[in-house]
Amino acid sequence: MMRALANINGKILKPEHAQVPFLTGGFLFGDGVYETGCSYQRTFLFLEDHIHRLRKSAGRLGIPVPWSDEFLKHQLQETAQAFGQDDIYFRMIITRGEVTHVGLDIHTDQPTLVILVQELSRELDQLRTRGYHLATSQVRRNPSQAQDPNIKSSNYLNSILALKDVRERGAMDAILLNGEGYVTEGTTFSVFSISPKGILRTPALSVGILDGITRRYILAVAQGICPSEEGAYSLEEFQNAQEVFIASSVRGICPVFQWDEHRYQTPGAITLRLQEAYRKKLDEEVLKSPSRF
Protein backbone atom coordinates (compact mmCIF):
# COMPACT_ATOMS: atom_id res chain seq x y z
CA MET A 1 0.00 0.00 0.00
CA MET A 2 1.18 3.54 -0.76
CA ARG A 3 2.25 5.63 2.20
CA ALA A 4 0.10 8.74 2.59
CA LEU A 5 -0.86 11.49 5.03
CA ALA A 6 -4.07 13.52 5.14
CA ASN A 7 -4.88 16.98 6.45
CA ILE A 8 -8.55 17.56 7.19
CA ASN A 9 -9.51 21.13 8.05
CA GLY A 10 -6.00 21.74 9.42
CA LYS A 11 -5.56 18.45 11.30
CA ILE A 12 -2.81 16.15 10.03
CA LEU A 13 -3.81 12.51 10.27
CA LYS A 14 -2.76 9.08 9.08
CA PRO A 15 -5.13 7.95 6.32
CA GLU A 16 -6.63 5.23 8.52
CA HIS A 17 -7.68 7.91 11.03
CA ALA A 18 -8.72 10.54 8.46
CA GLN A 19 -12.47 10.79 8.06
CA VAL A 20 -15.00 13.22 6.64
CA PRO A 21 -18.69 13.00 7.52
CA PHE A 22 -20.70 11.18 4.86
CA LEU A 23 -23.34 13.93 4.94
CA THR A 24 -21.24 16.19 2.76
CA GLY A 25 -21.99 17.43 -0.73
CA GLY A 26 -18.65 15.96 -1.79
CA PHE A 27 -19.64 12.43 -0.84
CA LEU A 28 -23.29 12.65 -1.85
CA PHE A 29 -22.95 14.44 -5.19
CA GLY A 30 -19.27 14.90 -6.05
CA ASP A 31 -19.94 18.52 -5.09
CA GLY A 32 -16.41 19.73 -4.62
CA VAL A 33 -13.31 20.83 -6.50
CA TYR A 34 -9.75 19.63 -6.45
CA GLU A 35 -6.22 20.03 -7.73
CA THR A 36 -3.44 17.50 -8.04
CA GLY A 37 0.22 18.26 -8.37
CA CYS A 38 3.59 17.13 -7.19
CA SER A 39 6.81 18.28 -5.63
CA TYR A 40 10.24 18.07 -7.13
CA GLN A 41 13.29 18.49 -4.89
CA ARG A 42 11.02 19.59 -2.02
CA THR A 43 9.38 22.32 -4.15
CA PHE A 44 5.72 22.23 -5.11
CA LEU A 45 5.58 22.76 -8.83
CA PHE A 46 3.38 25.57 -10.14
CA LEU A 47 1.57 25.81 -6.81
CA GLU A 48 0.27 29.34 -7.49
CA ASP A 49 -1.34 28.11 -10.71
CA HIS A 50 -3.00 25.22 -8.90
CA ILE A 51 -4.37 27.41 -6.12
CA HIS A 52 -5.60 29.95 -8.67
CA ARG A 53 -7.45 27.23 -10.62
CA LEU A 54 -8.84 25.72 -7.41
CA ARG A 55 -10.38 29.09 -6.50
CA LYS A 56 -11.71 29.52 -10.02
CA SER A 57 -13.36 26.07 -10.03
CA ALA A 58 -14.84 26.67 -6.57
CA GLY A 59 -16.12 30.07 -7.71
CA ARG A 60 -17.95 28.49 -10.67
CA LEU A 61 -19.77 26.16 -8.22
CA GLY A 62 -20.39 28.89 -5.65
CA ILE A 63 -18.28 27.11 -3.05
CA PRO A 64 -16.61 29.73 -0.85
CA VAL A 65 -12.86 29.49 -0.23
CA PRO A 66 -12.41 31.33 3.07
CA TRP A 67 -8.67 30.55 3.25
CA SER A 68 -5.84 32.77 1.99
CA ASP A 69 -3.34 31.43 -0.54
CA GLU A 70 -0.70 31.64 2.20
CA PHE A 71 -2.82 29.51 4.51
CA LEU A 72 -3.38 26.86 1.83
CA LYS A 73 0.33 26.75 0.98
CA HIS A 74 1.26 26.57 4.64
CA GLN A 75 -1.13 23.65 5.25
CA LEU A 76 0.31 21.79 2.28
CA GLN A 77 3.88 22.47 3.41
CA GLU A 78 3.18 21.30 6.95
CA THR A 79 1.58 18.10 5.68
CA ALA A 80 4.48 17.47 3.31
CA GLN A 81 7.02 18.13 6.05
CA ALA A 82 5.24 15.68 8.34
CA PHE A 83 5.26 13.13 5.51
CA GLY A 84 9.01 13.54 5.14
CA GLN A 85 9.74 12.71 1.50
CA ASP A 86 11.23 14.98 -1.17
CA ASP A 87 9.20 14.10 -4.26
CA ILE A 88 5.54 13.65 -3.48
CA TYR A 89 2.08 13.70 -5.00
CA PHE A 90 -0.46 16.08 -3.50
CA ARG A 91 -4.19 16.58 -3.81
CA MET A 92 -6.06 19.59 -2.44
CA ILE A 93 -9.83 19.19 -2.22
CA ILE A 94 -12.51 21.67 -1.20
CA THR A 95 -16.06 20.39 -0.85
CA ARG A 96 -19.26 22.22 -0.07
CA GLY A 97 -18.97 20.78 3.41
CA GLU A 98 -21.40 19.25 5.83
CA VAL A 99 -25.10 19.25 5.04
CA THR A 100 -28.05 18.47 7.30
CA HIS A 101 -30.10 16.45 4.82
CA VAL A 102 -29.37 14.31 1.76
CA GLY A 103 -31.27 16.45 -0.79
CA LEU A 104 -29.54 18.53 -3.40
CA ASP A 105 -28.58 21.92 -1.97
CA ILE A 106 -26.17 24.72 -2.73
CA HIS A 107 -26.15 26.24 0.74
CA THR A 108 -22.67 26.37 2.28
CA ASP A 109 -21.62 27.50 5.72
CA GLN A 110 -18.37 25.70 6.19
CA PRO A 111 -16.57 24.18 3.23
CA THR A 112 -14.27 21.28 4.00
CA LEU A 113 -10.57 21.41 3.11
CA VAL A 114 -8.76 18.13 2.60
CA ILE A 115 -5.12 17.81 1.63
CA LEU A 116 -3.61 14.46 0.79
CA VAL A 117 0.07 13.79 0.25
CA GLN A 118 1.45 10.45 -0.82
CA GLU A 119 4.39 8.82 -2.54
CA LEU A 120 4.71 9.46 -6.24
CA SER A 121 3.90 6.34 -8.22
CA ARG A 122 7.02 4.34 -9.06
CA GLU A 123 5.56 3.68 -12.49
CA LEU A 124 5.98 7.32 -13.57
CA ASP A 125 9.58 7.03 -14.76
CA GLN A 126 8.65 4.07 -16.90
CA LEU A 127 5.63 5.89 -18.35
CA ARG A 128 7.82 8.86 -19.29
CA THR A 129 10.06 6.60 -21.37
CA ARG A 130 7.93 3.69 -22.55
CA GLY A 131 4.74 5.70 -22.84
CA TYR A 132 1.06 4.98 -23.25
CA HIS A 133 -1.33 2.92 -25.31
CA LEU A 134 -4.46 5.06 -25.79
CA ALA A 135 -7.83 4.41 -27.35
CA THR A 136 -10.52 6.84 -28.42
CA SER A 137 -13.51 6.43 -26.18
CA GLN A 138 -17.09 6.16 -27.42
CA VAL A 139 -17.92 8.41 -24.46
CA ARG A 140 -17.91 12.09 -25.50
CA ARG A 141 -16.44 14.91 -23.39
CA ASN A 142 -19.01 16.83 -21.37
CA PRO A 143 -19.95 19.92 -23.35
CA SER A 144 -19.11 23.28 -21.77
CA GLN A 145 -22.82 24.17 -21.75
CA ALA A 146 -23.55 21.11 -19.57
CA GLN A 147 -20.66 20.44 -17.19
CA ASP A 148 -17.82 22.71 -18.17
CA PRO A 149 -14.53 20.74 -18.32
CA ASN A 150 -12.89 23.89 -16.96
CA ILE A 151 -14.47 23.26 -13.58
CA LYS A 152 -12.06 20.76 -12.07
CA SER A 153 -14.76 19.19 -9.94
CA SER A 154 -14.68 16.09 -7.77
CA ASN A 155 -17.17 14.54 -10.18
CA TYR A 156 -15.03 12.71 -12.73
CA LEU A 157 -17.70 10.34 -14.02
CA ASN A 158 -17.20 11.54 -17.60
CA SER A 159 -13.57 10.37 -17.41
CA ILE A 160 -14.42 7.22 -15.48
CA LEU A 161 -16.94 6.13 -18.13
CA ALA A 162 -14.35 6.78 -20.84
CA LEU A 163 -11.66 4.85 -18.97
CA LYS A 164 -14.01 1.91 -18.38
CA ASP A 165 -14.84 1.88 -22.09
CA VAL A 166 -11.22 1.70 -23.31
CA ARG A 167 -9.87 -0.57 -20.55
CA GLU A 168 -12.42 -3.12 -21.72
CA ARG A 169 -10.69 -2.88 -25.11
CA GLY A 170 -7.19 -3.33 -23.67
CA ALA A 171 -5.90 0.26 -23.81
CA MET A 172 -4.21 1.97 -20.87
CA ASP A 173 -6.16 5.22 -21.05
CA ALA A 174 -8.71 7.16 -23.08
CA ILE A 175 -8.98 10.18 -25.32
CA LEU A 176 -12.40 11.83 -25.56
CA LEU A 177 -13.87 13.64 -28.55
CA ASN A 178 -16.38 16.45 -28.16
CA GLY A 179 -19.94 16.35 -29.49
CA GLU A 180 -18.76 17.55 -32.92
CA GLY A 181 -16.10 14.85 -33.12
CA TYR A 182 -13.06 17.05 -32.43
CA VAL A 183 -10.24 15.78 -30.21
CA THR A 184 -10.43 17.26 -26.70
CA GLU A 185 -8.22 15.65 -24.04
CA GLY A 186 -7.64 12.50 -22.05
CA THR A 187 -9.32 11.34 -18.85
CA THR A 188 -6.78 13.21 -16.71
CA PHE A 189 -4.33 14.72 -19.20
CA SER A 190 -3.88 17.08 -22.12
CA VAL A 191 -2.92 15.67 -25.51
CA PHE A 192 -0.42 16.87 -28.13
CA SER A 193 0.79 15.71 -31.50
CA ILE A 194 3.63 16.59 -33.84
CA SER A 195 2.28 16.95 -37.36
CA PRO A 196 4.07 15.51 -40.40
CA LYS A 197 5.46 19.04 -40.95
CA GLY A 198 6.89 19.15 -37.40
CA ILE A 199 4.25 21.44 -35.89
CA LEU A 200 3.25 20.93 -32.26
CA ARG A 201 -0.53 20.74 -32.08
CA THR A 202 -2.89 20.68 -29.16
CA PRO A 203 -6.68 21.14 -28.98
CA ALA A 204 -7.75 24.73 -28.34
CA LEU A 205 -9.54 25.62 -25.11
CA SER A 206 -12.62 26.41 -27.22
CA VAL A 207 -13.18 22.71 -28.07
CA GLY A 208 -14.05 22.19 -24.41
CA ILE A 209 -11.07 21.09 -22.31
CA LEU A 210 -9.51 21.84 -18.95
CA ASP A 211 -7.11 24.78 -19.15
CA GLY A 212 -4.16 22.54 -18.26
CA ILE A 213 -1.26 24.05 -16.35
CA THR A 214 1.31 21.73 -17.92
CA ARG A 215 -0.24 22.40 -21.34
CA ARG A 216 0.48 26.12 -20.95
CA TYR A 217 4.09 25.53 -19.89
CA ILE A 218 4.64 23.11 -22.75
CA LEU A 219 3.38 25.68 -25.27
CA ALA A 220 5.76 28.20 -23.68
CA VAL A 221 8.85 25.95 -23.66
CA ALA A 222 8.12 24.81 -27.24
CA GLN A 223 9.03 28.28 -28.47
CA GLY A 224 12.49 27.90 -29.93
CA ILE A 225 12.03 24.14 -30.46
CA CYS A 226 9.16 23.94 -32.96
CA PRO A 227 6.20 25.96 -34.21
CA SER A 228 2.99 25.32 -32.33
CA GLU A 229 -0.72 25.77 -32.93
CA GLU A 230 -3.97 25.25 -31.07
CA GLY A 231 -7.12 24.29 -32.93
CA ALA A 232 -10.11 22.06 -33.52
CA TYR A 233 -8.67 18.82 -34.92
CA SER A 234 -10.53 15.84 -36.29
CA LEU A 235 -9.39 12.49 -34.97
CA GLU A 236 -7.88 11.55 -38.30
CA GLU A 237 -5.95 14.81 -38.63
CA PHE A 238 -4.61 14.61 -35.08
CA GLN A 239 -3.69 10.94 -35.15
CA ASN A 240 -1.96 11.23 -38.48
CA ALA A 241 1.15 12.51 -36.74
CA GLN A 242 4.84 11.80 -36.34
CA GLU A 243 4.62 11.78 -32.58
CA VAL A 244 1.92 11.95 -29.94
CA PHE A 245 2.35 12.68 -26.25
CA ILE A 246 0.22 13.45 -23.22
CA ALA A 247 0.88 15.74 -20.26
CA SER A 248 -0.32 16.59 -16.78
CA SER A 249 1.12 18.09 -13.62
CA VAL A 250 1.97 14.76 -12.03
CA ARG A 251 3.04 12.86 -15.16
CA GLY A 252 4.94 15.66 -16.88
CA ILE A 253 5.34 14.66 -20.53
CA CYS A 254 4.74 11.01 -21.53
CA PRO A 255 5.02 9.66 -25.08
CA VAL A 256 2.25 7.64 -26.71
CA PHE A 257 3.33 4.48 -28.55
CA GLN A 258 -0.12 3.46 -29.75
CA TRP A 259 -3.44 5.24 -30.22
CA ASP A 260 -6.21 3.06 -31.65
CA GLU A 261 -4.56 1.32 -34.62
CA HIS A 262 -1.88 4.03 -35.06
CA ARG A 263 1.59 3.24 -33.79
CA TYR A 264 4.26 5.84 -33.08
CA GLN A 265 7.95 5.42 -32.60
CA THR A 266 8.86 6.37 -29.02
CA PRO A 267 10.39 8.42 -27.72
CA GLY A 268 9.96 10.80 -30.65
CA ALA A 269 12.75 13.30 -31.31
CA ILE A 270 10.64 16.41 -30.65
CA THR A 271 8.93 14.85 -27.63
CA LEU A 272 12.40 14.18 -26.21
CA ARG A 273 13.46 17.81 -26.75
CA LEU A 274 10.27 19.04 -25.13
CA GLN A 275 10.78 16.69 -22.18
CA GLU A 276 14.28 18.15 -21.72
CA ALA A 277 13.04 21.75 -22.00
CA TYR A 278 10.24 21.04 -19.55
CA ARG A 279 12.68 19.47 -17.10
CA LYS A 280 14.82 22.64 -17.34
CA LYS A 281 11.69 24.66 -16.51
CA LEU A 282 11.21 22.52 -13.38
CA ASP A 283 14.81 23.18 -12.34
CA GLU A 284 14.18 26.92 -12.72
CA GLU A 285 11.07 26.57 -10.55
CA VAL A 286 13.14 24.94 -7.81
CA LEU A 287 15.76 27.70 -7.97
CA LYS A 288 13.25 30.54 -7.85
CA SER A 289 10.96 29.01 -5.23
CA PRO A 290 11.00 31.01 -1.97
CA SER A 291 9.31 28.23 -0.07
CA ARG A 292 10.72 24.77 -0.17
CA PHE A 293 9.39 22.42 2.46
Ligand X SMILES: Cc1ncc(COP(=O)(O)O)c(C=O)c1O
Q: Contact 67/82 with Cβ under 8 angstroms?
A: no
Q: Contact 192/244 with Cβ under 8 angstroms?
A: yes
Count of residues that interact with ligand X, criterion CB under 6 A: 12
Q: Which of 188, 228, 258, 289 binds ligand X (CB under 6 A)?
A: 188
Q: Which of 51, 120, 213, 254 binds ligand X (CB under 6 A)?
A: 213
| Binding string, residues 20-49; x marks residues near ligand X by CB under 6 A | ----------------x-------------
Task: Count how many residues are written for the chain.
Answer: 293
Which H or E run includes 277?
A: helix 269-288
For residue 166, give the amino acid letter: V
DSSP bridge partners of 228: 200
Beta strand ranges found along the chain (DSSP E): 4-8, 11-13, 32-40, 43-44, 88-95, 112-119, 132-136, 173-177, 183-186, 190-194, 200-203, 228-231, 243-248, 252-259, 262-263
Q: How far is the CB of 203 from ligand X (least distance, A)?
A: 10
**For residues 189 and 112, what is the distance between their CA atoms, to the nearest angstrom?**
26
Shorter beta-carbon distance to ligand X: residue 99 or 175: 175
Please report whether residue 190 would count as binding ligand X according to CB under 6 A: yes
Shorter beta-carbon distance to ligand X: residue 173 or 185: 185
Choose the binding region for ligand X from 2-10, 12-20, 110-118, 210-218 (rule: CB under 6 A).
Answer: 210-218
| Binding string, residues 115-154; x marks residues near ligand X by CB under 6 A | ----------------------------------------
Shorter beta-carbon distance to ligand X: residue 185 or 243: 185
| Binding string, residues 59-88; x marks residues near ligand X by CB under 6 A | ------------------------------
Q: Which of residues 232-291 bind ligand X (CB under 6 A)?
A: 248-249
DSSP string, 130-182: T-EEEEE-SSPPPPHHHH-TTS-BS--HHHHHHHHHHHTTT-SEEEEE-TTSB
Q: Which residues bind ligand X (CB under 6 A)?
A: 36, 185, 188-190, 210, 212-215, 248-249
